[in-house]
């Protein structure tokens, strides 16, 4: 385990703020649903949906990297987990074409 032994509290709080901000933005967009994002379409779905999916992936990155300490794992382990999840995300975005 390549754990940094100095306390990583500062990073934890930054990640909390980031996750909260992203969720707030998502909910605000979900309630307002600006027509130019909601009623138009690119790549099979509305830009609003793409924004939601991308923001979700950003949140997933923060949770796995910072909270699950994936950044501290060996490169091989990282590669396997990421290959797996990116394959799945491909599956999601194919299936969920709103």
Kindly list the residues in this chain that would bind other proteins in the complex (CB under 8 A).
1-3, 5, 7-9, 12-13, 15-16, 19-20, 23-24, 26-27, 29-31, 38-39, 49, 52-53, 55-56, 59-60, 63-64, 66-69, 73-74, 76-77, 80-81, 84-85, 88, 91-92, 95-98
Longest dimension (CA), the chain: 50
C-beta of 43: minimal distance to other proteins in Å? 14
Two tokens at 47? 């830009």
Distances (CA, A) of 49 to 17, 44, 76, 80, 95: 23, 10, 32, 28, 13
Provide, rounded to whole angstroms, the least separation between the CB of residue 53 and other proteins. 7
């Amino acid at each position: 385990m390549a754990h940094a032994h100095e306390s990583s509290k500062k990073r934890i709080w930054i990640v909390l703020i980031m996750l909260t901000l992203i969720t707030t933005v998502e909910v605000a967009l979900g309630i307002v649903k600006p027509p130019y994002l909601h009623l138009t379409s690119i790549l099979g779905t509305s830009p609003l949906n793409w924004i939601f999916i991308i923001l979700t992936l950003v949140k997933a990155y923060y949770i796995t990297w910072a909270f699950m300490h994936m950044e501290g794992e060996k490169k091989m382990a990282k590669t396997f987990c990421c290959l797996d999840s990116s394959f799945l995300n491909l599956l999601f975005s194919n299936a969920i074409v709103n």
